[in-house]
Structure 1
């Protein structure tokens, strides 16, 4: 996988795709309550892409003005959180889980830890399921998967021209 592919990403359904060239700044985990709600999770992983090196390559996000200072971009079709934007700055924050290769960008910091879920530190100690899925179930999911693949496609769903 090329470095360029490491910086492409999009939503689960493929309606919104983006590309960011160059390094992503300040990759971190935000624990603030707004990020928790926006992610539907205990934290939000994000990093900054310079606007001059950022482009939407398919579709356009919907925006929610979560405060007077910040708006959050998401797919209007599938709801995937994609961006944390502070208008007027020279960067846009990308949600790291929306990258095609999220493992390529490792967080270097945590922020707003006063809102971090109190038992978050205990998660690695939770028991593991012995087998997450049966082979039959994995095959059934793979055969009916409607999720966009982790790479750019000329059109989506495959076979459509748009």
Structure 2
């Protein structure tokens, strides 16, 4: 079972089943919150178990999305499209090995001007 945590270990999580291929989001919100583009995998809500959720703080980035981070260390862990059946989990928070590889880049029309996407993966403008 894939497992992970925030930097301080106050919030831990497990995913039942294999991880879906992750994507890299280059939108300005993800870059501002994470400091660069953000890699995540979308898992079914029912497959995700969170311990220490009393240490999670949810920031409502819009009416449709909230972003979950540890209130102790600040690690950004979740991107939650409200009312949907999946939730995005930060790839960097998983304990290795994850046994998955990045599948695509999204929101590349909004990517930062300070870097290039140098792999051959599919790039989606939005």
TM-score w.r.t. the length of structure 1 is 0.67
Aligned to 2:51: 57
Runs of 4+ in 1 over 4 A off after TM superposition: none
Between structures 1 and 2, the one with greater strand share = 2
Q: Which has the larger radius of gyration?
A: 1
Aligned to 1:145: none
- 2:109 equivalent among 114, 136, 145: 114
Write the deviation string for residues 99-138 of structure 1: whole angstroms up to 9, x where unpaired: 1126533110000001222341288xxxxxxxxxxxxxxx
Aligned to 1:87: 82
> Where do 5+ consecutive residues of structure 1 fail to align?
124-162
Cα deviation for residue 55 of structure 1 reads 0.7
- 2:19 equivalent among 2, 17, 24: 24
> Where do 5+ consecutive residues of structure 2 fail to align?
119-126
Work out whether residues 96 and 102 of structure 1, in 8 Å CA contact, stay in contact via their aligned partners in 2.
no
Name the Cα RMSD after superposition: 2.0
- 2:4 equivalent among 9, 19, 30: 9
TM-score w.r.t. the length of structure 2 is 0.84
The total of aligned residue pairs comes to: 118
Between structures 1 and 2, the one with greater helix share = 1
Aligned to 1:138: none
